Structure 1
Amino acid sequence: MKTRHFVNAALGAALALGATLAGAQEITLKVAHFWPSAALSQQKVLLPWCEKIAKESANRLKCQIYPSMQLGGTPPQLIQQATDGVADIVWTLPGYTAGRFPSVEAFELPFMSRSAESTSRALWEYVETYGKKDFARVKPLAFHVHDNGYVHGNRQISTMADFNGLKMRAPTRLTNKMLAAFGAAPVAMPLPAVTESMSKGVIDGYVLPWEVIPTMKLQELTKYHTETDPAEPALYTAVFVIAMNKAKYDSLPADLKKVIDNNAGADFSAQIGRVWDESAPAARQQAVDHGNVFNTIPASELASWRKEGDKLAAEWVEEMNGKGYPGQAMLDSAKRLIEKHKR
């Protein structure tokens, strides 16, 4: 009898120890994105985030970061890689897969955003109401936008007529439609292709925020930069998502899920936007130092640009209505939340 009790006790202790060791198991998350490793996205956002979750999990959660599509595929495939578990976490643009995530396109309409920080906070709140269905197959950790987007290229842009016939790159469906409305010939391509396309003359210019231009060395291939009146909303911005594979998240023990949850959401989204806002002046200075030419479009000229933007917004509302989304309510909500969170 005593032997049996001893064996049972030993077995119980072994099982408890095994459970403890399993609970303390280190988990390495595969984190994939399309930027080079030196980019602000990895250095100022992903690395600090990974260090934070490692610290808060007593080093049970760690990251292995794969920049520049090192896990294979192309930037438009990143969101599917998160869905399928090729990567545990990805950072990408929903707009790279046109039509798959229509709800967040409201924030990519012209003349919506004034700062990346406040608009990113508004975007997270908006998705909580209108975007959960679109992103049901992944676990979003952050939604954010980049700093104010401008026009860059090798032709001077002073009026809308100057866009006529120019081959211009844009990152998303709506920015392509915006450029077409202005008279340009839009060319859709992921960011990594822009540098080569500019060097070979495949495109005449592009729309981008300041932050990314030095990362891609585009200030060396660009002569003219067209900014818009700073008192007006930005010409455009683009939506990004940091998304986690649902099965990977669901497999985590409760305490590690809490670590992930504590480092996701509105505050994380706004923090990313703030990093982008703060990066813009230094990035712009590199184009100044290169001797490039700058031009600011005044509000009087922007009035005609904004009319085209309003037409595009109205078309988007009708398109969303046709897909079963409450288009006008979504647009109104996006504008209201941006206004609510503006700084």
Structure 2
Amino acid sequence: MKKSIQKFTLTAATLVSISTYADPVILKIAHFLPPTSGVQVKVIQPWCDTIQKESAGQLKCQIYPAMQLGGTPAQLVDQVKNGVADIVWTAPGYSAGRFPTIEAMELPFVVTDAVSGSKAAWAFYQKNAQKEFDAYKVLALHVDGGMVAHTARKPISNMASLAGLKLRASTRMVSKLLQTMGATPVNMPPAQVTEAISKGVVDGAMASWEVVMPTKLAEVAEFHTEPAAGKPIFSTTVLSLLMNKQKYNSLPANLKAIIDKNSGAPLVANFGKAFGDTITDTKKQVAASKGKIIVLAPTDYDAMRKTAQTFENEWIKDVTAKGMNGKQLAADAHAFALKP
């Protein structure tokens, strides 16, 4: 009788284990852009499709775009840390002061394009910034390819034309850069920019090409100013795909392996390519809709870059005072960004 009870108990436990394992793991993924954005359509959704296929349906995603889980973009890092979401795509720089090391990749005139810049951001993270992301399972770190100055009525052709303009800034680094060059930064999330420009609250925005179509920025901004192709751009936003560490650790080894296989350098490369393609496509659409893309003349570009160097020097001084090797971090950012 005792043997029968033990056998029944073992069988029941096995069935429970199999049943639990058979239930798919639903990963809640949150981000701040619309569902039609390139980041969801070209990267996040394909990533979800891949891990679902490779796990035979054991891993599935529920995507919550446009802050559907509530809160603000700056709160996404806490939402994933606290388990409100399992994975988030967001900019660490939206949470000012919390990720100071990775800020080096957002220094002015470092990143040239989305592909090489994303590769550089990942290399920089691996060398210098893993400790400040220790609370997360980092799936990818990449860049948006760089900030462009989008303005409604006044074209920006040199530093003098920035004087007195109110421009949306995405991060602390962009805010500091605008102040250094004579403009007034106004911090706000991408979703508010178009309305703010249409109402005259701001004159324009420093924003990546990625957000132009999803947020309908091109409908209110006629002028779009950037450096010549191949030149480091004003600034960039480092972006991240972060997973709740406890959620990741709770997965069986085979599902962890699938997440790992499709994360890191391969996923960073996917983000870089997607953003690079989006930049090309968006510029074509803007030109076709009679938007004016202004390429800075070499002398005006050099003047802006020289002025921005004073900000980099200040940043180095500030982070060094906090116990970080600011000079080395800045040097690493430039060095990694120069690699193809």
Out of 18, 21, 24, which is 1:23 matched to? 21
Count, aligned residues: 339
Partner of 1:238: 237
Paired amino acid for 2:129: G
Partner of 2:109: 111
In the aligned structure 1, how far is the partner of 2:190 from the partner of 2:172? 14
Q: CA deviation at 1:6?
A: 3.9
Contact 1:220 1:290 in 2 (8 A): no
Partner of 1:312: 311
Q: CA deviation at 1:135?
A: 1.1
Partner of 2:209: 210
In the aligned structure 2, how far is the partner of 1:9 from the partner of 1:237? 62
In the aligned structure 1, how far is the partner of 2:4 from the partner of 2:253? 32
In the aligned structure 1, how far is the partner of 2:71 from the partner of 2:219? 28
Q: CA deviation at 1:157?
A: 1.2
Partner of 2:50: 52
Between 18-27 and 93-102, the greater mean CA deviation after superposition: 18-27
Partner of 1:263: 262
Partner of 1:174: 173
In the aligned structure 2, how far is the partner of 1:235 from the partner of 1:270? 22
Partner of 2:98: 100
Contact 2:90 2:241 in 1 (8 A): yes
User: Normalized against structure 2, the TM-score is what?
Assistant: 0.96
In the aligned structure 2, how far is the partner of 1:128 from the partner of 1:148? 21
In the aligned structure 2, how far is the partner of 1:133 from the partner of 1:292? 43
Q: CA deviation at 1:21?
A: 2.3
- Residue deviations 1:52-73 (CA, integer Å, cap 9, x gap): 1111111111111111111111
Identity rate of aligned residues, in percent? 41
Contact 1:111 1:306 in 2 (8 A): yes
Describe the SS at the equivalent of 1:195: helix
In the aligned structure 2, how far is the partner of 1:193 from the partner of 1:337? 33
Describe the SS at the equivalent of 2:12: helix
In the aligned structure 2, how far is the partner of 1:127 from the partner of 1:292? 36
In the aligned structure 1, how far is the partner of 2:172 from the partner of 2:22? 45
1:330 aligns with 2:322: no
Gaps of 5+ in 2: none
In the aligned structure 2, how far is the partner of 1:18 from the partner of 1:294? 62
Between 89-98 and 226-235, the greater mean CA deviation after superposition: 226-235
Gaps of 5+ in 1: none
Residues 1-343 of structure 1: pairs in structure 2 closer than 5 A: 3-153=1-151, 154-340=153-339, 342=340
In the aligned structure 2, how far is the partner of 1:230 from the partner of 1:284? 13
In the aligned structure 1, how far is the partner of 2:35 from the partner of 2:145? 20
In the aligned structure 2, how far is the partner of 1:90 from the partner of 1:204? 31
Q: What is the root-mean-square deviation in Å for CA atoms of aligned residues?
A: 1.4
Q: CA deviation at 1:207?
A: 1.2
Q: CA deviation at 1:202?
A: 0.4
Between 207-216 and 105-114, the greater mean CA deviation after superposition: 207-216
User: Normalized against structure 1, the TM-score is what?
Assistant: 0.95
Q: CA deviation at 1:94?
A: 0.7
In the aligned structure 2, how far is the partner of 1:11 from the partner of 1:184? 72
Contact 2:96 2:171 in 1 (8 A): yes
